[in-house]
Amino acid sequence: MVDSPEQTLSSPWPDILELTLDGIAQGGEAVGRWQNRVVFAAGGIPGERVVVRLRERHESYARGDVIDVLLASADRVAPRLPGASHMPWQHIAFEAQQRLRRQILVDQLAKFAGIDPGVVDATTPASKPWEYRNNARLHCDGRRVGYYEADTRSIYELDHDPLLHPTLNEALAALHCALADEPDNAPPLEVTLRVSEAHGYCIAALRGRGDRRSLAVRWRARCPALAGVVFTVSPPHLMPPLGADTLVEELEDLTFLLRPTTFFQVNVAAATTLLNLIRAGLGEEAHGRLLDLYCGAGAFTLPLARNAVEVVGVEEYAGAVADAERSAAVNHISNVRFITGRAEAVLTDLSGEFDAVVLDPPRRGCHPRVVQALIGRAPRRIVYVSCHPATLARDLKSLINGGYTVVRATPVDLFPQTPHVESVVVLVRAGSE
């Protein structure tokens, strides 16, 4: 069980081993080495001496779980919900999580894009370490409700999630009660739950087979804060919503009209943090003509429009575009235009020049055609909002090769108690400063 130097690379992986952790991986696992082979240890913290039980073995690396801590880090804290895989960093002190987020971003940008760690700021912390999430996607199997365990379809059952806004926990508890009257053979169900932080009510979307209206009626009767439930059923047929079908949220004194399944930032404070970083990154170009790619429901598009000549938002999901257009109308914002389509396709035919571009792609990052089109259009500034350091680094390398320089990268803690690393990166075209 000891990682002694006498052992050789030809030794087979044991079931259990002892090692010192000295790094952190992008996925949030601590990293150690055994016989010069990498071990990813879930539940560990850099600097600790631990015992790990392996669950995945390869020639040059293995993955496992910490089952005993022989020498604990000063950053180790007691988890609030042991075993909950949706918050794998709950054993790490909040301040230490910020340092580790920056380290992950530094490592990925240096390794894959050759970016100097000196341009990476300290992590901007979340405003609250708990009760911050304004949305949740739950799964029901008969009378059980919770999240899927990591990398499985097994439900981790819970009636309270310390990451959720209190109103959502009220709705979760009421859903438990409503499910108690479901038949044993009730089909599986996906539940999307959203709260309006501005107005204190929530709405839900139910997705699954069969008529679930009776469940929704029982649920609403037990939860006064649940203003409405919408249905997506299979086979498809028209089922009107029960109560409200639109969430009204406020961001920077703007009103956003959102259907329950439309993406929005995890909380209003997070959206405000990102907006402030985007504005700072745009500099004087914020007053020009802007392109907002992967714009969703316009969370960045509409606030930026107040100081810009024009903002064009591009989003492939028609429902999000419809919500963005409704929100623009209710706020009387006329200098925005939304285009439904894939960014790589829209950029081919989009006319006119843009002073700056805002990117907020999904985890897979930008399509290569998007990066090449931006290099060809040569906006003076690009502000890249990323939720995945590795795909960010890949895209930045291409943009750097195309004539851009990274002048600042700021990691942001949007999801405390998880290893998720959001970041805002500012790129400037050579010769534009």
What is the set of active-site residues? Answer: 387
Give the integer Cα–Cα distance in Å for 153 and 189.
Answer: 12
Give the integer Cα–Cα distance in Å for 325 and 52.
Answer: 52
Beta strand pairing call for 247-251 and 254-258: antiparallel
Among residues 301, 329, 305, 332, the alpha carbon closest in space to that of 315 is found at 301
Give the integer Cα–Cα distance in Å for 250 and 253.
Answer: 6
In degrees and rounded to multiples of 5, residue 122 shows phi and psi of: -65, 155
Mark residue 129 as left, alpha or beta (left: phi above 0; alpha: psi -120 to 50; beta: remaining). Answer: alpha
Q: Is the peptide bond before 235 cis (omega within 30 degrees of 0)?
A: yes
Question: H or E element: which one contains 233?
Answer: strand 226-234
Mark residue 223 as left, alpha or beta (left: phi above 0; alpha: psi -120 to 50; beta: remaining). Answer: beta
Neighbour-count burial of 204, counting CB atoms closer than 10 A to its CB (0-12 exposed, 13-18 middle, 19+ buried): buried
309: helix, strand or coil: coil
Distance from first CA to last CA of the chain, Å, rounded?
Answer: 57
Which residue carries 């912390």 as its tokens? Answer: 125
Beta strand pairing call for 144-148 and 155-157: antiparallel
Both structure tokens of 120: 């990476």
Among residues 198, 250, 239, the alpha carbon closest in space to that of 215 is found at 239
Question: Can you name the residues that pair with 204 across neighbouring β-strands?
Answer: 193, 229
